[in-house]
Amino acid sequence: MSTTRFSIALASIPHASIARSLAALPLLVAGICFDASAQSAAGPAPDPAPVHPELTGVYEQFGGAPGMAALMDEFMAILLEDPRMRPFFEKVDHDRVKRQLAEQFCAILGGGCAYSGRDMRETHAGFAIDRADFNALVEDLQIAMDRRGIPFRAQNRLLAILAPMHREVINR
């Protein structure tokens, strides 16, 4: 993805802090892949799939359940092709990761799904995940969303909701 495209995407996110908006997603996905037993001492973790029923129309722009499943297929293929992300995903249950991401995105976007995955803090506690990992995953997700024809504004609305999760997952 070009720097220009990425900058334009950031400029259109309707939240005050773009940096926070971009700090969550790669680690969010990586969190579904790994088990970690340590619980952070910072208190209970925020809900990894806060429901936003006002975004049901955005969920429909993703194509509903069939569109979300197709997006996850595309996304996983891109992650496995990307040498920056492959180590996080090559030895995990791809079907489980795709299913839980689809659940999480569906729940967040008011699609009526329930997320069955773990919270982000617990999942990432034992891993050295940094902002570069996050940036690579965001790029890959945006490529997948572009390939699936998801409107740019809908992409940004999802990324903006996922953004605060970076506090639970970046640990290096």
Q: How far apart are CA 142 and CA 137, in angstroms?
A: 9
Q: How far apart are CA 56 and CA 89, in angstroms?
A: 29
Q: What is the DSSP string of 107-160?
A: HHTTSS----S--HHHHHTTS---HHHHHHHHHHHHHHHHHTT--HHHHHHHHH
The whole-model pTM stands at 0.73
Q: How far apart are CA 67 and CA 62, in angstroms?
A: 6
First to last CA, the chain: 25
Give residue 2's pLDDT: 44
53 SS3 class: helix
Instruction: Determine phi and psi for 42, rounding to 5 degrees.
Output: -80, 10
- The series of mean pLDDT values per 10 residues for the chain, 172 residues long, is 42 40 43 40 68 86 96 98 91 91 92 87 74 85 96 93 77 77
Give residue 39's pLDDT: 39
Tell me the two tokens of residue 136. Answer: 């690579």
- No. of H helices and E strands in the chain? 11, 0
Q: Is residue 136 within 8 Å of 82, Cβ to Cβ?
A: yes
Give residue 162's pLDDT: 80
